[in-house]
Structure 1
Amino acid sequence: MAVRNRPLTGKASRDGRKVIAQAQSSRRSGWLWLAAGVVVAAPIVAIVVISIVKSPATRAPETESASLQKPPATVAVGADTMPPWPAPADAKAAVAAAGLPMLGSEGAVEHIHAHLDVLLDGKPVPVPRDVGIDTDTRRGTISPLHTHDETGVIHVESPVKRQFSLGEFFSEWQVSLSADNIGALRAGGGKLVRVVVNGTPQTGNPAAITLGPHDEVAVVYGTPQPGETLPSKYDFGEGE
C-alpha cells in the first residue's frame, strides 16, 4: 500500500524550517562574500594595470619624445679648458647638460649627418669618438646627437623630427662655445672665433647654429690669414 507524505507538525516542522532558513542564509552569505571579493579585487586589478602603464619601461618612449619637443638649445655649457678635449667620462650628465635624453637605441624619425672641423691656428683639434654615448655595456644608452668615431661626423638619430644645434653638441662634448670663446680659447689680440658652414661665414651666436644634412661646419680660432682656405665640404661615406 502506498504511503502518502504528510505535512510535518510540531517540533519536526520547526526543525525543518530552521534547516531551510540556515541553508538560505548560507547562500546569501556566499553571494555576499563573492560580491565583497569582487569589490576588493577591482581596485587591486586597477592598481596593477596603472602600475604597468606607469612603469619606467612604458613611460620611457613618451618621456624621451616629450623632452625633445622643446626648441634646440642656443647655449653651449662646458669647461673653459685648453684643447685637446676628450669625450666626457660621464656621458649621461653631459647629455643632460645639453637638455637631451639618453635613448635605449638610436632613433629613426630624424636621421642626418653633419661634419665638424675645429681648427686652432690652422691646425685640427680632434673631435672625439663616443660623444653622447654611454660606453658602459650594462646601460648602453645613447643621445640622439652623437659621434661614433674620430672623423668629426656628427650623427643625428632622433625618435622625433627636430633640429639639433651646434650648442647642444658642444654641451655634450662639455666644451663651452660662444662668439668670444671655444673652451679656454678666447677672442682678443687679433685672434677671433669664427664659424663657417658650407663655406659661408656665420655671424652672431655660434651655439644657435642648427645642423642640416651633410653640413660642413668649421669652428675656427686664430688670426685670419690672407688667402686662407677653410673647410667648405666633406666627403661623406656611402649611406651617411
Structure 2
Amino acid sequence: MKKLSKFIMSTSVAALFSACGGGGYPPTSTTISTSKEPIAIVSTLVNGVDYWQNGSAVAGGKDIIFDNVTCLTSEDYHIHSHLTIIRDQTYLAVPANIGLQGCAYELHTHDKSGVIHVETSKYKKFTLGQFFAVWGKALDSKVIAEFHDVNFLIYLTDGDGPVRYFGNPKDIELLDKREITVIVGIPPSSLPTYIWQSPS
C-alpha cells in the first residue's frame, strides 16, 4: 500500500510539473532535433527577417543605467553570446546597434547576426533580462518583447545541446558562446545549429 501511495504521489507531482510547464511553458520533450547545416556566425549574417528597428527602444547615455548595465569604460573582459528569436517558424532578426545609444553599453549588438557582445572591465554576471532592459523590451515568463501570453519555448546550447530551459528567461546568464533560442508560438521542425567564427 505504501509503495502504491508513493507511486500515485510521484505520478501526480510529475503530472503537475508537466501541466505547469516549469514556469508558463507548454509541456513538451526536453530535447528537439537540430538542423544538419550549421550557420556561420559572422558579422554579415542577418539571422532572420527585419521585425524591430535597429538600436534600442529607450534613450541612453552617460549616467543612465539599465538594470545595473552601464556605459563601458574598458573591454578587458569581452565574450559573446548568441540570441535567436523564432516566431511561428519565422526567424526574427535581433536588431543591430542595441546598447549603442549615447554610449556603448556593457551589453550591445553591432549587427543582425544575433551576437550579444559582453564587454566590461572585469568579469561580471550578465543575464538575458539585462540585455532586454538595455534593448528596452519586456522579458519574463509571460512576455517576450511584444509577445504576450503565448507559448514560449527556450533552448540553451553550451557546446552540447540544445537543452530545454524551464526557468524565467530573464535569469539566463550570458556565457561565452552560449546559444539561446527563444521560440514564440508554433515551433519549427528543428532548431538551428551554429559555427562560431570569432566575432569582433
Structure 1 residues 224 and 102: CA distance shift in structure 2, 3 A: same
Instruction: Quote the offset at 1:107 in angstroms.
Output: 1.4
- The match for 2:171 among 186, 191, 208 is 208
RMSD of aligned Cα (Å)? 2.2
Q: Residues 128-174 of structure 1: CA distance to partner in whole angstroms, max 9, x if unpaired?
A: 1111113x6xxxx2111111111111111110211210001111111
- Greater percentage in strand: 2
Gaps of 5+ in 1: 1-82
| Identity level (%) | 29
Counterpart of 2:194 in structure 1 is 234
Q: Distance in 2 between matches of 1:97 and 1:144?
A: 10
Larger radius of gyration: 1
Aligned equivalents of 1:237, 1:143: Cα separation in 2: 23
Count of aligned pairs:
144
How far does the alpha carbon of each residue in 1:11-65 deviate from its partner, in whole angstroms, 9 at most, with x for none? xxxxxxxxxxxxxxxxxxxxxxxxxxxxxxxxxxxxxxxxxxxxxxxxxxxxxxx
Instruction: Output the TM-score relative to the length of structure 1.
Output: 0.55
Question: Relative to total residues, which structure has the larger helix share, 1 or 2?
Answer: 1
Give me the whole-angstrom Cα distance separating, in 2, the residues matched to 1:185 and 1:115: 20
Q: Alpha-carbon deviation of 1:239?
A: 5.7
Alignment of 1:147-186 (within 5 A): 147-186=109-148
The answer (yes or no) to whether the contact 2:72–2:119 under 8 Å persists in 1 is no
Tell me: CA distance 1:118–1:91, structure 2 relative to 1, closer, same or farther (3 Å).
farther
- What is the DSSP-based 3-state SS (H/G/I as helix, E as strand, rest coil) of the residue aligned with 2:129? helix
Compared with structure 1, are the counterparts of its residues 237 and 99 closer, same or farther at alpha carbon in structure 2 (3 Å cutoff)? same
Instruction: Specify the alignment match of 2:84 in structure 1.
Output: 117
What residue ranges of structure 2 are gaps of 5+ in the alignment? 1-49
